[in-house]
Structure 1
């Protein structure tokens, strides 16, 4: 892996433009959006940087061979032809997974098994030993992507999904995925230039991701391992340089990030996670019922929250969402309030006009990220001030 090579970062539905922008800002070359993925080019150091810094990537893959497949034999022979011993040692465990949309094969597990057979046979031929498979905690992960007759074999440089940041040790009943949280924050335009509030903070994911964005802290700075560390060409010194250079680009944050939740257990979990993320100096958490709260600051407030949907947390959704609207209208002037929900029917009960509505997915739940602009005084007064 000398010089620049092609890579692919996987992401969530609708997050492709945000991920592409992240990659360009990091310095990637030839960035192209796909469906739930973005392809780009960079060198080995950039592969390390992508894993460390990307907020909206789930995986970073390094394609090593693309070929046409019409039969099982085509698959076996092409996977066998790869010089696997040049990528990792025989004493490393490996796992192979397949994503596919193809008429040639009907079963992704079967494709993975054929790929494993070819890899193991190649090692036996080259070094007279075979590596062991470990589907749960493999040292090396390999991805086969089959679309129609085109097959791409890639090394998975990330290992565990990049949403596993390493800071969350306590969760509530319905935690939001860290990559989803970061992407939603970026969609709302959060940049750390105002005060921030999550009034239903749960285990604190929005708060932590908001603080990392505000301070330009690498998303995965708390993560201890990546699959690329098991590759033969892993350069620990280069990796350390990338980490240090990324930390040197952090910035000061001069506003407040606040979270509250009425459940004592949620407050405790959020505090634990914030402490574990080493961001306690930026984040304040208190036990408070949003419906009995008022705007805690004088200036502009950026609010992002994930209210209960009624899917896993039992609530009277219509009444609950009506209270959200009433509280925002009465107690939160000068606030840009964003929330994500999959309860599209209850959303109507908020009783406020949305200024933005974006389709997203929370897991498999089709959801909406909506924005309510709560003006200081009436909207009419605001426009009169601007005209004057």
Structure 2
């Protein structure tokens, strides 16, 4: 099978798969391949935090033109997966000089399937763009075509808990991956000081409690398959729920907009995590650290794409607030405006290239020590 993900998340997705029990895990670009049985397919969809989709390849063949594509798709016995009274949809991804348009590839593949059914049964399944019974993925890389069944359906970032969003919500899979890259495991207090609709807060709580990220999801594509095994799915779900743990710290969220606070509270409640998450209407630049001990901070500040702000002043205030008010804090944030980082006035200890949608971004870390950094290292050398 193949798990698709964002650029920069391949290694953490591979580690997730290995921990879940996948076999023969191999990293690619924006994807990780692995082997597993039907139960593991259910488990991967429920439990992977950084996967966007899980695809199940069923055939691979060489393609040079539309005829070889048509013949290759038609060589599959589609009655094994689909009935005439059911519906299907084809997604195509093309990286080839032989084909120019993904829509053409999807249409040609559709013709091959429909013609096979007409010849066998004198009838055909319909196309349904919204809720098909079977989703098919056609991937052409140079001269190799891989036909897969989409086990997930809608992207796995649709967790099911987020019904309310703000102006520029962060994708749930992107949020989970950022949290994992930041080293968040639930071993300290957590703060998102610009929480918006609360995605980082919910994802952080699910990681801390080892809650399967897609446990609230309404449906998966495999639930409409011919070999759907509801009993097996229930067993897999129960085994994952038994591994949920307790969380002994606090997760805080601030936002200066009352509407964002209300949305974040709604989403935390939808995820059944409001007992772990405290959300308040506050302007981050007017706050200070309120908890004892280490604090893990992750946030997604605006960077001028959709919100009209004075970037220089805004990012300078981020740096000033961290420096003056948040000692003992590991602070991470993602920005799509790399130039704005120079206004923070602090040197990041880490900088990771990611993409937020199509926008190239940077995930940066600022370590705010108790006292000055020099004092910290002097104390360390004196203790040695």
Task: Return the TM-score normalized by structure 1.
Answer: 0.97
Q: Does the 8 Å CA contact 1:88/1:230 hold for their aligned counterparts?
A: no
2:371 to 366, 374, 377: 377
2:119 to 112, 117, 125: 125
For residues 86-113 of structure 1, the C-alpha deviation after alignment (integer angstroms, 9 at most, x for no partner) is 1132222110011011122211111111
Structure 1 segment 49-64 matched on structure 2, within 5 A: 49-64=43-58
SS in structure 1 opposite 2:126?
coil
**Paired position in structure 1 for 2:162:** 168
Distance 1:160 1:20 in 2: 21
CA distance in 2, matches of 1:321, 1:107: 42
- The answer for the alignment partner of 1:240 in structure 2 is 234
Q: Does the 8 Å contact 1:165/1:219 carry over to 2?
A: yes
**Secondary structure in 1 aligned to 2:3?**
strand
* In 2, Cα distance between equivalents of 1:319 and 1:106: 46
Q: Does 1:261 align with 2:245?
A: no
The Cα offsets for residues 200-252 of structure 1, whole Å up to 9 and x where unpaired, read as 00000000000000000001000010111111111110001111101111111
Which aligned pairs between 1:139-178 and structure 2 lie closer than 5 A? 139-178=133-172
- In the alignment, structure 1 residue 186 sits paired with structure 2 residue 180: yes
Per the alignment, residue 276 of structure 1 pairs with: 270
Shift of 1:276: 0.6
1:11–1:57 contact (8 Å) kept in structure 2: yes
Q: Pick from 286, 297, 310 the counterpart of residue 303 of structure 1.
A: 297
Which position in structure 2 is the counterpart of 1:315?
309
Say yes or no: does 1:227 pair with 2:227. Answer: no
Matches within 5 A, 1:41-80: 41-80=35-74
2:21 to 27, 36, 53: 27
Instruction: State whether residues 20 and 33 of structure 1, in contact with CA within 8 Å, keep that contact through their aligned partners in structure 2.
Output: yes
Give the secondary-structure state (helix, strand or coil) at the position aligned to 1:246.
Answer: helix
* CA distance, structure 2, for counterparts of residue 104 and residue 383 of structure 1: 60
**Which residue of 1 is the match for residue 100 of structure 2?**
106
Moved over 6 A (4+): none
Q: Distance in 2 between matches of 1:104 and 1:374?
A: 53
How many positions carry a matched residue from both structures? Answer: 382
Match of 1:18 in 2: 12
In the TM superposition, what whole-angstrom CA distance separates every residue of 1:12-49 from its partner, at most 9, and x where no partner exists? Answer: 01111111111001010000111111100000000000
Secondary structure of the residue aligned to 1:268 is helix
- d(CA) in 2 for partners of 1:372 and 1:283? 24
Q: Match for residue 281 of structure 2?
A: 287
- Does residue 85 of the first structure (1) align with residue 79 of the second (2)? yes
- Specify the alignment match of 2:346 in structure 1: 352
Counterpart-to-counterpart distance in 1, 2:271 and 2:170? 16
CA displacement at 1:83 relative to structure 2? 1.1
Aligned to 1:116, what secondary structure does the other structure show? helix
Alignment of 1:328-343 (within 5 A): 328-343=322-337
Verify the 8 A CA contact 1:260 1:289 in the aligned structure 2. Answer: yes
Structure 1 contact 13–35 (Cα < 8 Å) conserved: yes
Distance 2:88 2:325 in 1: 55
Give the superposition deviation at 1:366: 0.8
Check conservation: 1:194, 1:300, Cα contact below 8 A: yes
RMSD, aligned CA: 0.9
Q: Unaligned stretches of 5+ in structure 1?
A: 1-6
- Residue 386 of structure 1 deviates from its aligned partner by 2.3
- Residue segments in structure 2 that go unaligned for 5+ positions in a row: none
Question: How far is 1:71 from its partner?
Answer: 2.5
Separation in 2, partners of 1:66, 1:174:
39
Match of 1:3 in 2: none
266-275 or 125-134: bigger deviation = 125-134
Structure-1 separation of matches of 2:73 and 2:102:
15
d(CA) in 2 for partners of 1:287, 1:72: 58
For residues 17 and 29 of structure 2, the distance between their equivalents in structure 1, rounded to whole angstroms, comes to 16
What is the CA distance between 1:377 and its match in structure 2?
A: 0.8
- Residue 140 of structure 1 deviates from its aligned partner by 1.1
Q: Deviations over 1:358-381 (max 9, x none)?
A: 011111111110000000011122
